[in-house]
Amino acid sequence: MNSIVVTHGGATSVPALSQDGTDKAAATGLAAIAKGGSALDGAIAAVMVLEDDPRFNSGTGSSIRLDGKTIQMDAAVHDGATGDFGAVAAIERVRNPVLVARRVIETPHVLIVGEGATRFARAMGFGDYFPDSAPARERFARVVDALKGRSDDTQSYSTAWRRYDWKKAWNFETGLDEVLGSADTVGAVARDGRGRYAAAISTGGTSITFLGRVGDVPMYGCGIYAGPDGAVATTGNGEDIIKKLLAKRVYDDLATGTEPQAAVDRAIRLFPTDVGIGVIAIGARGHGGGGNRGNPTDFRPNMSWGIAQ
Ligand code: ASP
């Protein structure tokens, strides 16, 4: 079987601005497999490239939360050959959350959160790193404008947030003078020469969230899924993805013989167009990917996603 790595840069990523980043990540993942790595090594190597690229909302480019200073990240890995799943949620001050997620596999747990996750990272030897980037600061400024009613930035937050009176339940230590942010996540799916599949995913979450909010990324079967029949990674508003168990649902389609692009298209059509969604998938019958941002009649090109094989 041929090796393949497919990556994405998030549901709202724009190919004209960041396609080179997802291409580079896919090529790096494939190179890791070519050097003898497993599908899991390939997916993780690809996600690390995206975490280190500040254009994407994960790792260094992670979104700033509503208080204007907190950065909390979620990440997960799923090895389709062994069934191993490891995740961290609301982790702070690490450079590559996906590497910490991988170390969770060695523990008896599947998910470690918050301060416990950060301390776990330190115990595993990951140093202190504050993810600070100009793109995240710019995104935060746009969200502030939107929340203050100075702009109608519909990319920045979900319909649910626009309807919700978030001021009522503000739970940050700092006051509520400033505010909000767009979504996005990075993800990779990989198959190695032995036909093993894996998926990895990492995000700065969405800015318009309360302290401690956890999205789909570290939840089993929601943000990613990998098994003997393929691998899937999703992106978009986490709360909507969770309620559809999206990654597992797409995987089930692959497992019953659906061609990956058809499975991806079907998944995207489960959501109304005001919910930004993106999906990548690989299986025995090929690969597929796409998102619903941009031209609604031809949604496949409207997300940065890369393929290397
Ligand atoms: N799914 C991510 C989350 O809700 C965000 C994204 O993919 O855009 O945390």
Q: What is the pLDDT, as a whole number, of residue 178?
A: 36
Dump pLDDT digits (tens) for 280-298. 999 999 999 998 875 544 4
Dump pLDDT digits (tens) for 153-163. 555 555 666 66
Dump pLDDT digits (tens) for 242-269. 999 999 999 999 999 999 999 999 999 9
- Asked about 234 being catalytic, the answer comes back as no
Using a cut of 0.75, tell me whether the model's pTM lies above it. Answer: yes
The answer to whether the CB of 278 is under 6 A from ligand 1 is no
Q: What is the pLDDT, as a whole number, of residue 152?
A: 55
Dump pLDDT digits (tens) for 126-154. 999 999 888 888 877 877 776 666 655 55
How many Å separate Cα 230 from the centre of its chain?
A: 18
Rounded to an integer, what distance in angstroms lies between the CA atom of residue 187 and that of residue 224? 8
Q: Is 225 within 8 Å of 247 (Cβ atoms)?
A: yes
Buried b (16+ CB within 10 A) or exposed e, 184-204: bbbbbbbbbeeebbbbbbbbb
Supply 177's token pair.
Answer: 């003078």
Which of 203, 208, 219, 293 has most ligand 1 atoms within 8 Å of its beta carbon, as the pocket-test mutant? 203
Closest CA to 6 of 242, 270, 186: 186
Mean pLDDT throughout 212-224? 96
Q: Which residue's CA is minimally distant from atom 8 of ligand 1? A: 184
Q: Does residue 25 sit in helix, strand or coil?
A: helix
Which positions ≥6 away from 83 have C-beta within 8 Å? 227
From the candidates 185, 203, 206, 209, which is the catalytic residue?
185
Q: Which residue's CA is minimally distant from atom 3 of ligand 1? A: 238
Q: Is the pLDDT of residue 180 over 50?
A: no
Q: Is the pLDDT of residue 31 over 90?
A: yes
Nearest-atom number in ligand 1 for the CA of 182 is: 8
Q: Is the pLDDT of residue 110 over 60?
A: yes
Ligand 1 mean position to 182 CA, how many Å? 9
The alpha carbon torsion through 221, 226, 231, 237 (nearest 10 deg) reads 20
Q: Is the pLDDT of residue 114 over 80?
A: yes
Q: Does residue 79 sit in helix, strand or coil?
A: strand
Q: What is the pLDDT, as a whole number, of residue 286?
A: 97
| Interhelix angle 39-51/15-34, nearest 10 degrees | 140
Walk me through the domains of the chain, giving residue ranges and CATH numbers: 4-132+179-308 (3.60.20.30)
Q: Is the pLDDT of residue 177 over 50?
A: no
